[in-house]
Amino acid sequence: MNSRIKQSDIAARLASDPALAGVKIGTTLDPDYLTEFCKNHPSVWVGGQYWTKRGELDYTANFRQHVRAIFRFKVTEARYKEGEEAGDAEDRLNALFDKVMDRLKDWQPGGADTTFAIEAMADGPAGESFVSVDFSLSVDATYSRPS
């Protein structure tokens, strides 16, 4: 890999799944992210990536570093839908989270050395008009640049 892993590739992988039809899927780099984030539910947002090192620098005619690339995701669902019973939002949120995980769990993005692994997961803030889950998935990669 000689560049960052593309968030848009991850979003495209999710958008191509028929099980996620009707779900707004985007990235935090999309030009409409700030206006669309709070308006569209259900939604899945691929957030920023950050890297941590897995090993020391290696030079064999090229700069090379083994890294773990960690991606943040946010899955959202409407808190209230007309005619639903209490607790339905949690069921809808859990079902959407499972669909996202089913699509990504065995997939290796371009530029990665491994498939996705779970790093962390937490429910989103309770004081919002929608319910959400924030989670991080990681892949191992080798970043290299010509010397």
Q: CA-CA distances (angstroms) from residue 27 to 15, 60, 68, 143, 144?
A: 11, 35, 20, 22, 25
Q: Does residue 31 surpass a pLDDT of 70?
A: yes
Nearest CA-CA partner of 76 in 120, 27, 133 = 133
Could you give the number of structural domains in the chain? 1
Mean pLDDT, the chain, whole residue set: 89
- Kindly state whether residue 1 falls inside one of the protein's structural domains: no
pLDDT score of 2: 59
- Kindly state whether residue 108 falls inside one of the protein's structural domains: yes
Q: CA-CA distances (angstroms) from residue 88 to 40, 44, 94, 99?
A: 18, 18, 10, 17
If 0-12 CB within 10 Å is exposed, 13-18 middle and 19+ buried, where does residue 23 land?
A: buried
Q: Beta strand pairing status for 62-78 and 130-146?
A: antiparallel
Q: Beta strand pairing status for 117-123 and 58-59?
A: unpaired
- Kindly state whether residue 128 falls inside one of the protein's structural domains: yes
- Domain residues for the domain of 60 are 7-146
Percent of the chain with pLDDT over 70: 90
Q: Per this entry, what is the length of the chain?
A: 147
- Is 28 within 8 Å of 49 (Cβ atoms)? no
Percent of the chain with pLDDT over 90: 59
pLDDT score of 104: 97
Residue range 43-93, pLDDT digits in tens? 999 998 898 887 665 666 677 778 899 999 999 999 888 777 766 889 999
CB atoms within 10 A of CB 77: 23
- Kindly state whether residue 62 falls inside one of the protein's structural domains: yes
Indicate the pLDDT class of residue 37, thresholds 50, 70 and 90. confident
- Kindly state whether residue 2 falls inside one of the protein's structural domains: no
Q: Which of 22-31, 36-45, 52-61, 95-104 is predicted with the least confidence, judged by mean pLDDT?
A: 52-61
CA atoms within 13 A on the CB side of 28: 9
- Kindly state whether residue 118 falls inside one of the protein's structural domains: yes
- Alpha-carbon span 29 to 53, nearest angstrom: 24
Give the CATH number of the domain where residue 99 resides: 3.30.2000.10
